[in-house]
Structure 1
Amino acid sequence: MFGRRTRIGRRTRIWAGALVVACVVLIGPSAPTGALFARPLPAEAAEGVVPDRVMTWNICNPCGASNLDRAREIATYAPQVIGLQEACVRDVEKIRSHLKRFYGLVYHVEYGTVLRDWGRCGGVPWHPGAYGQAILSAAPMTDPVRVEYPDGGSEDRGYMAVTTTVDGRPVRVFNTHLAQRRQEAVRAGQTRVLAAAVARYDRAIVVGDFNAVPDAPELAPLWKLAADTDSRCRPLSTGGCVPTTDWQVKFDYVFLRGIVPLGHRVHPTPYSDHHLLHTELDIAQDDTALKNGR
């Protein structure tokens, strides 16, 4: 009898344990275990959205980074506009939620989806996550455009563009991610498509991961139209460009057409193989000042 009771008790505990696991799977962990806790911002963090600041960041997918950590990085510099590359819609929605909940920063969003990828963005095979570019802006955005390049190379690529407000004035903002390394000919075709769209605007900001160093021939169409926010970084400059990746090359740019840069910074981050690059801009000045080197 004792042995029979022991077996019954063991089966009961096993059944109860299985029931608890099933409840956790179905319902999720309960607070406070499942609660999110944001680390405070560093002392030098921006106190609120910086109205003349624009940022670009390839957030790296799939890299396993926490969206709460990504939100903290963005909140530290609090740009008016940020262009994200390798962005899954699910991740961006969580980042926006964390920015609002933990840091009081409210951003509008537009997406430049180029593919749906279960491997990168999760979901289920019949409803995979959307992947591509995204633009977050503290001001509303209008006239969104999403373009896939005719040839994406080894993975679909494209650009997106919106009109929004930077430094109190409307400006056209482009965000792109060019083909992967060792696909120079493909990137050359993509840059021609992008440059043709940028050329229609006297004042424009072009951010993104171009997967090319400044003197790469495929970037020539953009250099003819715009300058990088780093005045020392030019196609023929020697050692003047600050690296923006973990492999110590510059692939990330904020190209400016008809806009004066006031300063810029590159910030390495443990949450991506690309650094954060942000710049402060004077939209009010015209491009005559830019041509004069001011």
Structure 2
Amino acid sequence: MTLLCVVLVGSSAADDPHSDSGLPADPVRDVVANRVMTWNLCNPCEESNVHRAAEIAAFAPQVLGVQEACVRDVEAIREHLENLHGLVYHVEYGMVLNKRSRCGGAPWNPGGFGQAILSVAPMTDHVSVEYPEGGSEDRGYMAVTTEVGGQDVRVFNTHLAQRRQESVRAGQAAVLATEVARHDRAVVLGDLNAVPDAPELSRLWALAVDADPQCHPTRTAAGSCQATTDWQSKFDYVFLRGITPAGHRVHASRYSDHHQLYADLDLA
């Protein structure tokens, strides 16, 4: 009888999602070492961070850049990635606003809103820069040095001004391009709020290529660029400088109005 009780209690604990066993709900898996991803989380959208984490874990990037992110959401996503999926990430932030309407918090202590980079490897030389002109809402870029595919890479993450603010975006892209040009090997992630043939992106196209080899800034080729938003526009990019693309995918997510975009890189 004692043995039977032990067996039953043990079996029940193993099936309990709130058990203190310390094991993730899903099998532990490894990240894809040469994979980078960008995703605008959509804010305010009030989506479940459990679901966001599951979508990220499905592709398990080595490095992830998110935009329209709240600090508290990113922290929750990191916890779910580790506890539910066995994926452990470091994080750095590029917050440009403290905004209660976006991220909650007390009136005297609103939540931080902006960008974040999650990386399996540690990150160094972190910078966070607010653009001199943000347009209708403050915007900026952040950058870190981290490991992708066993190599050190400078990774940028940005969110340019909203649509119908072309001149503002042009100034922001120029600021970003000046910094990217300082590096022989760099990855630029972000929501640029502009289609590939938009004139304001010309400075970036002069420095880097899209992770999709078929996507170019010419009007004839722009039609071959996969849409990354629910309104069928390509606004999200993985730009590569001094790095060869080895594959990419756009995944439409039910948890954001922007699709997930990842790229596998050849750093040989």
- Fold conserved (TM > 0.5)? yes
Check the 8 A contact 2:184/2:242 in 1, yes or no: yes
Q: Which residue of 1 aligns with 2:224?
A: 240
Q: Is 2:165 the partner of 1:183?
A: yes
Deviations along 1:7-57, one digit per CA (max 9) or x if unpaired, are: xxxxxxxxxxxxxxxxxxxxxxxx97xxxxx9869xxxx942000000000
Q: Deviations over 1:207-250 (max 9, x none)?
A: 00000000000000000000000111101114210000000010
CA RMSD of aligned residues (A): 1.5
Partner in structure 2 of residue 273 of structure 1? 257
Counterpart AA for 2:44? P
Matches of 1:138 and 1:158, distance apart in 2: 23
Distance 2:26 2:121 in 1: 25
Q: Partners of 1:130 and 1:74 in 2: how far apart?
A: 21
How far 1:282 moved relative to its partner? 1.1
Runs ≥4 residues deviating over 2 A: 38-41
Q: 1:227 to 1:139 in 2, by over 3 A?
A: same
How far apart in 1 are the matches of 2:187 and 2:222? 25
Give deviations 1:95-139, integer Å, cap 9, x for gaps. 000001011100000000001000010001100000000000000
The structure with the largest alpha-carbon Rg is: 1
Aligned to 2:192: 210
Question: Per the alignment, do residues 124 and 67 of structure 1 end up closer, same or farther by CA in structure 2, a change over 3 Å counting?
Answer: same
Aligned to 1:282: 266
Residue deviations 1:229-277, cap 9 Å, x none? Answer: 0111101114210000000010000000000000000000000000000
User: Which amino acid in 1 is paired with 2:240?
Assistant: L
Q: Does 1:139 align with 2:139?
A: no
- Number of paired residues? 245
How far apart, in 2, do the equivalents of 1:232 and 1:214 lie?
A: 12
Corresponding residue for 1:58?
40
Q: Distance in 2 between matches of 1:235 and 1:160?
A: 24
Distance (Å, rounded) in 1 between the aligned partners of 2:89 and 2:267: 20
SS state at 1:140 partner: coil
| Contact map agreement 2:67 2:116 (CA 8 A) in 1 | yes
Which residue identity lines up with residue 241 of structure 1 in the other structure?
A: C
Residue 4 of structure 2 corresponds to which residue in structure 1?
A: none
Q: In the alignment, does 2:140 pair up with 1:158?
A: yes
Name the CA distance, whole Å, in 2 between partners of 1:169 and 1:250.
29
* TM-score (norm: length of structure 1): 0.81
Equivalent position of 1:78 in the other structure: 60
- Choose the corresponding residue for 1:49, options 28, 31, 55: 31
Q: What 5-or-longer segments of structure 2 have no aligned partner?
A: 1-16, 19-23
Q: In structure 2, what is the equivalent of residue 220 of structure 1? A: 202
Alignment match of 2:82 (pick from 100, 108, 127):
100
Matched, 1:112 2:94: yes
> In the alignment, residue 145 of structure 1 is paired with which amino acid?
V
